[in-house]
Amino acid sequence: MITTFFGNKDFPIEWEEGQRELFWVYDDLHIPNPVSPMYADIGGWWLSCDYMFRRFGTPFASDWLVKVINGYVYTAAIPAKPDIRAIGSEYGCHYMGRTPIEAAYSAHIDAYLSWTLPYYAEHFLDWWRERFRPEIERNFLRFDTYDYDRASLLELAILLEDAIDVHDRHWKIHWLLNFSQFSATTALNQAIAEIKGDSDRRELMGRLQGSIEDRNWDSIKGLWELKEFVKLEGGEVAKAFKRPTATDVLAALKESEVGRFFIANQLGRYLNVFGYKSMWAHEFSFKLWKENPAPAIEAIRGYLETEYDFAADLARVARDLEAAKAEVMLGVPPGEGRDKLGTLSLKMNPLTPDHHFYIDQGTNARVRVVLIAIGKKLVTRGMLLDPEDVMYLRYNELRAVMAGSFAGNLSELVSDRRDQREDAYKLRPRDWVGTATEEALAFPYLTNWGFPEKFHRKPTSNEATIDGLPASSGVVEGWARVLLTPDDFDKVQKGEIAVCRTTSPAWVVLFTRIGGLVTDAGGMASHPAVVSREFGIPAVVGTSNATLRIRTGDRIRVNGSTGQVDVLSTSSLKVRSEKDEGSYI
């Protein structure tokens, strides 16, 4: 054991059996906001992790538990040891975290993992294209063509169960994909170290994760094509896009027939494909682009202002990817070693943005659509005031409400939980809680959250310096723009440095406008790091507290090669320290 944190008066924690002994990490990478009760019960990525550990035969973990602490999601991996007993929860029920029966499991199963994993890495891309993606698309088609308005509440209740089943299936596919890709990347890292030595090649490995053929780029291309249409139209539509905010643009478009046609047709076709996402994908309580197209409108407006050139951007990424591949081969003599590097799979790179599109975004979005349809039915029956209120119920509470057996005061319950969630925004979540051990910190997936570096990082003595992890090389100075909600997007000016908790694929609309990026969350393989490298933007991730210590209007320097952020001048009298009271709102 290295150290422990079991709570204090500022961050109280209620523990259940076996939980104190685990290392719990704040999931700021996926869910930086206080989580809704519904998503915590049925929506989490952790729900099918035991399937991944079982199927691959991982010797280092057998389950991944969730714990909501003061409104925020924390997760802990359970080591594959039979003597561990820890309470978890899913679908509104407690369960004992899964562990192997035999003490020798880890020693025996490691050979199975090593034997089978290369086969997954070699073949998964074909499986994805031929089996898994078509399966997901068939499931989406059912939900996208369902007649929600004519369905009864009973039919929607059954549809919700189908959506949960589909969610479970898609996330099992996700973990097949993710671990296959993770193993391919690990194998490439090891091969480079074996052949070229053990020097720090994190930046190079980050560049090798780039992709030029995926749904992320398809989405950006679609927005660019809409921008080109508006530019060529040059009339009422183009005039509307000169308004200062997305809200103003939408209002202006609705004033003219040609503008309404643009919304229903050109924009509508785009949203039918790429609109099943919200700015925070790992949550049900945020509106989809299809419901509120303001983010897409803002992206088009931004592309017009900056004269964004999609082809040039894509070509730049392609050149950098080829340069990174060439750098890997530099100095490697012909023979088995060179052949090994040449054949190790970089072809799986498109699967990162693709699985975000189909699973993280698309699958969660379809569950939201069903929940909102149920919420609308409950509003018409006078049981809820707002369809969004369903997100503040737990899974089994909603089922009881639909069946007419819920005995409590529904409006009071929803109101109290809304208040609790708002109050949670005022707290500053800790990076971790529980028991830190060397074994826990060595859990491979924790690199995505910036561990173990984040754990071992010493506080800087200079209040004007913020330390994080280098994510995308280069140095940039500029004005900071702190982004805490999607409502802040239309305030971003060209060249500003975005400071936020994390990013998701839906945030790429900003990357053509900003000059740099600083995030609280993430590691070298996280979304903000990968996309920053693709767009050639200096970035520092995993700072833990940049959104607390930097204010909009501060002049900052971001060094994406060293992981250091310097506040050069402030927009107020002092730099906020971690001890100062602060709020995300």
Residues contacting 443, CB < 8 A, separation 6+: 23, 60, 61, 77
For residue 339, what pLDDT is reported? Answer: 66
Tell me which DSSP letter residue 12 carries: -
pLDDT greater than 90 at residue 206? no
Mean pLDDT score, 31-41: 96
For residue 43, what pLDDT is reported? Answer: 92
For residue 342, what pLDDT is reported? Answer: 59
Look at 45-54, 124-133, 225-234, 341-350 and tell me which has the smallest mean pLDDT. Answer: 341-350
Percent of the chain exceeding pLDDT 70 equals 95
For residue 533, what pLDDT is reported? Answer: 85
Tokens describing residue 314? 């894509």
For residue 460, what pLDDT is reported? Answer: 76
Q: Return the number of other C-beta atoms located less than 10 Å from residue 116's C-beta.
A: 14
For residue 71, what pLDDT is reported? Answer: 97
For residue 199, what pLDDT is reported? Answer: 67
For residue 344, what pLDDT is reported? Answer: 58
Beta bridge partners of 77: 64
d(CA 278, CA 362): 9
Mean pLDDT score, 251-257: 95
Beta bridge partners of 76: 65
For residue 345, what pLDDT is reported? Answer: 52
Burial status of residue 387 (CB atoms within 10 A of its CB: 0-12, 13-18, 19 or more): middle
Tokens describing residue 16? 């259940």
**Is the bond preceding 118 in cis, omega lying within 30 degrees of 0?**
no
For residue 573, what pLDDT is reported? Answer: 37
Tell me, what amino acid is at 188? L
User: What are the start-end ranges of the H helices in 100-245?
Assistant: 105-127, 133-144, 153-196, 202-207, 215-233, 236-240
Phi, psi for residue 87 in degrees, rounded to 5: -80, 130
**Could you tell me the pLDDT band of residue 340, with boundaries at 50, 70 and 90?**
low
**Mean pLDDT taken over the chain:** 90
Percent of the chain exceeding pLDDT 90 equals 66
Tokens describing residue 538? 């200096």
Side-chain-side CA neighbours of 24 within 13 Å: the count stands at 26
Positive or negative CA dihedral for 157, 158, 159, 163?
A: positive
Note the residue count of the chain.
Answer: 585
CB 440 within 8 A of CB 457: no
Q: Return the number of other C-beta atoms located less than 10 Å from residue 180's C-beta.
A: 25
Query: pLDDT digit string (tens) for 455-503?
Result: 998 877 788 999 999 988 899 999 999 998 777 887 888 899 999 999 8
Residue found by looking up tokens 């183009």 in the block: 238
Give one word for 244, left, alpha or beta, with left for phi > 0 and alpha for psi -120 to 50: alpha
pLDDT greater than 60 at residue 581? no
pLDDT greater than 80 at residue 143? yes
Query: pLDDT digit string (tens) for 397-415?
Result: 999 999 999 998 999 999 9
